[in-house]
Structure 1
């Protein structure tokens, strides 16, 4: 059980460009949420992290990272990748139910309270973070 559920915290898991990294990320997120007493967010958070990390691994060639932050009752999940190009805008969920691919960001938009992306440039490295938020209230 967490010492103080209101204290902010943040984790970052760097992953290789490998499809197996999606499972590692999902299981790591589950452990983080369990250790901080946020199991109730687990199923939705895992779905969102899976979609974000899958996109980072599938659509880029370099490394990626799962970023998880808790602050003021909001869980923020992000996936960093080295490609600075914006993600494809999600189609409405009802239009993509028969597709095998292309549902990731539509699921994120449907399940998260808020989502977005931002380009990054740091120490000569470029890329982006696609993120989403879940509020506990």
Structure 2
């Protein structure tokens, strides 16, 4: 559960910081049938910004951009789903402990 809280914190922080976080939606679900926890955050920016991954630049020069690397390292899967020009969902799934 600590990992789910960390990842949810990261995607919420990203939405607040990079996508005008005044209007975000957060969804969290635990599905015991498949043994997974899913977290998702919707924000009003329809695309990921450039430089949103630490792999986009030298990590020695970056002060931010490691949150999505945490998703990559810790989540079973994650992704981004756009909703036309209204915004996007950033979602992750991980096995429930």
TM-score tier by shorter-chain length is 0.7 to 0.9
Indicate the structure (1 or 2) with the bigger Cα radius of gyration: 1
- For 2:53 and 2:64, locate their aligned partners in 1 and report how far apart those are by CA, in whole Å: 12
The residue that corresponds to 2:73 in the other structure is: 110
The residue that corresponds to 1:26 in the other structure is: none
What is the TM-score with the length of structure 1 in the denominator?
Answer: 0.58
Unaligned runs of 5+ in 2: none
* Stretches of 4+ aligned residues off by more than 2 angstroms: 86-92, 95-100
- For 2:54 and 2:46, locate their aligned partners in 1 and report how far apart those are by CA, in whole Å: 21
What is the TM-score with the length of structure 2 in the denominator?
Answer: 0.78
Query: RCO (CA 8 Å, sep 6+): is it higher in 1 or 2?
Result: 2
| Deviations, residues 117-137 of structure 1 (Å, cap 9, x unaligned) | 10124xxx7110001111137
1:1-137 paired onto structure 2 within 5 Å: 41=1, 43-61=2-20, 62-71=22-31, 72-86=34-48, 88=50, 90-92=53-55, 96=59, 99-121=62-84, 126-136=86-96
Aligned residues: 91
RMSD (Å), alpha carbons: 2.3
Determine which structure has the larger helix proportion and give its number: 1
